[in-house]
Structure 1
C-alpha cells in the first residue's frame, strides 16, 4: 500500500461494511464537510474520505500548478487513492466539481466505479447561449476570479452566503466562509479557475457508470437547466430534485441527501 498517497491526500477509512463509498468534496472545502452524513453510512459501508492537494490537511508541498491546471490532475489523484486502497466497484459521491472529477476518473478506469452520485455538479458553468445555460456569463466568472486575486477575504465573505442560501441558518455561511479563508489564496484561485472555466460537456457521452444526479432548489452554482442537460446526455442517469436549498445539501440537509442516495443504491 502506497502510504505516500494516503498521506498526500489525508485519506481516512471508516465504517463497518464491505461496500466502499468514496466521498469527494468540492471547491473551497475539505472532507470535514461530510461529517453529518458519515454516521448515517458508517454501519453499512466502508467510507473513504480524502482532501484534494491544496485543501484540508493534504500535503500542500505536493501541489503542482502544472498538474492541477486541469480537472484531469485531480482525477488522477482520485484514481491513485482508489488504486492504493484497491477499491474496485466503489460508489463515488462527488459534490460540485467532484461530480465531474469522478466522471473523468471513471472514463479512464471504469473498474473502480460501481455508481456515481453527482451532488450539485455541472459540466460547464459558463453560458454557451442559445444552446447551453450554465448559470454564468464569462464576465461574471472573470469578475469572481479578479475579486479572489484582489481581496481574497472579501471574496469569501461575499460568496459564502450566496452559495449556501439558508439565510436563517447563519452558522452554515460562517462555516463555509471559514473553509474558503483557510485555503492558500494562490492555490484556491487556480482551483477556482480550473473549476469555473472547465468544459466537460464533450466527455458526458463517454461516461458509462450508472449515475444519480441530485439537483437542489435555488442552487446558484448549478441551476436546474444543468441537471436536465446532464440527465439527457449521461447514459444510465437518474435525476432527482431535492427540497434542500443552496449548493451544500450535505451540510444543510444531510438527512434528505442521505435518503436520496440510499434510495437510489437500494434499487440500482
Structure 2
C-alpha cells in the first residue's frame, strides 16, 4: 500500500467585490499566474452589485446614528455571500481593524481548501452581516485604502505562494523573512564587485557553516534595528526554547 499523499484539490479563492474588473490583476502573472494556469488554484470574482434588490442596483445606504460616508447594506452583502460561498474555508473581510496579516496566518489560510474574500468599499460593511456569517477580519497594515481589492490581492498572493507546488524550491520559503522570526539577511549576486563595492568575503569562502552564521548575525542585526517588535518576540521565543531544553 502506497504511503504517498493524496493529490490536493486545487485551492479555491472567491472574491466578492464591487469592482470585479480589478482581478486577477497581479495574480494573473508570475508565480500566482503560472500556478493558476497549472491548476493549483482557482480564482472566482463575484460582483456584489448583482445581488442588489432594486433597479438602481443599490449596495449602500447612510449610517444609522449619522456620520459621513455610506455603509454597505447587510442584505445585499449576505445575498452575495449566500450565492457564492463554496461551503468550506473561512470568509475574510479586509479591514484596518482586523487581525494583522502575518506569515503564520498566511500558512493557516493556505492549509484551507478555500477562502472567500469580502472587499469592502465606502465606510465599510454593516456589522450585523459580519457577525452573522462569522467573518474573519484581517488587516494588511495600519493604513487606509480606498477599498479591499488591493488588500485582497496582497493576501491571496501571500497565500498562493505557500500552496504545495507553487514555489519550485521549498528551500526558498524556508529562508524568507519571518520564517525564523527574523527579517531576511542581505542578498548578493554577480558581479562580484559593483561600483567599487565587493560582495562580503565570507560569502565567497565556500565555508557553509561560516556563511550560515554570518547570515544569522545579519538577520538578527537587521531585525533588532528595524523591527524592535519582532526582535522582542524572537528573543522571548529563544529564551523559552532554552528553558525548555534545560528542564
Verify same fold: TM over 0.5: no
Q: TM-score, normalised to structure 2's length?
A: 0.33
Q: Higher helix proportion, which one?
A: 1
Q: TM-score, normalised to structure 1's length?
A: 0.31
The higher radius of gyration belongs to 2
